[in-house]
């Protein structure tokens, strides 16, 4: 089946997923997670993108970032991060062969409440994977920054989060309640991003579809498959 077209206009927000080849682990120990964040910081400085949310899982990585007018392209950003980390891992562990599975997956995200929802989707990954019951208990995530005020120079707080309240304490509380709502009422957002290439309000969807000539979801060929239980 041919690959879906890469869409990456500048000055847009993206939800990005990079997975280990054949779903193999890409982090073997704590120093590997730390190294990935160091590399992420280095390329953030080089290409001047804004990083809003992230989670580092055992065999994959989720990022939500925004490219800027005079910064690097999405392709340059992801190529730099993925190549640098793969080289580090291969050298350290003697890994041979493909490290990342195919290319990264990207989803355009509208800069409104959908960005907040997408951030909670990313930060609820450890809960969906049953690594913890509360996202605050997972170390390699942006959740503690938004929910509890943990300092992380790597992150840029996006304006949608800042609009939750003018008071910092209340803003954190509102974010915790928002994510809790996604956890309970939306089943941890299970299957929320399946097949998507655009995630946003109707106006954003129509504008991006017209601009890029694509649908909001990738349509599978052949007879439609019955929806899986976890693709809600």
231 CB-near residues (< 8 Å, 6+ apart): 190, 191, 194
The parent domain of residue 134 ranges over 13-208
Alpha carbons 157 and 178: distance in angstroms, whole number? 16
Q: What is the CATH number of the domain that holds 59?
A: 3.30.70.1290
Q: What is the DSSP string of 154-177?
A: T----HHHHTT-SSHHHHHHHHHH
**Domain annotation covers residue 86:** yes
**Domain annotation covers residue 215:** no
Tokens of 115: 């960005």
Question: Which residues, given as ranges, of the chain have pLDDT below 70?
Answer: 1-7, 186-192, 215-232
**Domain annotation covers residue 220:** no
**Domain annotation covers residue 217:** no
CA 80 to the chain's CA centroid: 17
Task: Give the predicted TM-score (pTM) of the model.
Answer: 0.86
**Domain annotation covers residue 112:** yes
Give the pLDDT of residue 10: 84
**Domain annotation covers residue 213:** no
Calculate Rg over the CA atoms of the chain: 18
Tokens of 2: 């041919």
| pLDDT tens, residue by residue, 142-172 | 999 999 999 999 999 999 999 999 999 999 9
Domain count, the chain: 1
């Amino acid at each position: 089946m041919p690959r879906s077209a890469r869409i990456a206009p500048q000055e847009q927000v993206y939800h990005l997923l990079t997975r280990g080849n054949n779903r193999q682990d890409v982090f073997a120990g704590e120093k590997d997670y730390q190294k990935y964040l160091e590399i992420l910081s280095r390329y953030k400085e080089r290409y001047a993108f804004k990083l809003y949310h992230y989670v580092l899982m055992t065999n994959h990585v989720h990022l939500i970032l925004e490219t800027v007018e005079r910064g690097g392209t999405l392709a340059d950003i992801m190529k730099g991060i993925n190549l640098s980390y793969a080289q580090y891992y291969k050298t350290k562990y003697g890994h041979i062969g493909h490290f990342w599975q195919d290319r990264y997956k990207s989803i355009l995200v509208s800069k409104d409440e959908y960005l907040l929802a997408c951030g909670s989707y990313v930060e609820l990954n450890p809960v969906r994977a049953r690594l913890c019951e509360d996202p605050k208990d997972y170390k390699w995530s942006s959740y503690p920054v938004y929910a509890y005020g943990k300092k992380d120079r790597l992150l840029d707080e996006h304006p949608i989060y800042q609009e939750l309240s003018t008071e910092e304490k209340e803003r954190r509380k509102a974010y915790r309640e928002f994510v809790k709502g996604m956890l309970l009422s939306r089943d941890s957002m299970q299957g929320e991003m399946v097949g998507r290439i655009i995630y946003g309000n109707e106006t954003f969807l129509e504008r991006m579809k017209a601009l890029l000539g694509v649908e909001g979801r990738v349509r599978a060929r052949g007879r439609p498959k019955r929806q899986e239980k976890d693709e809600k």
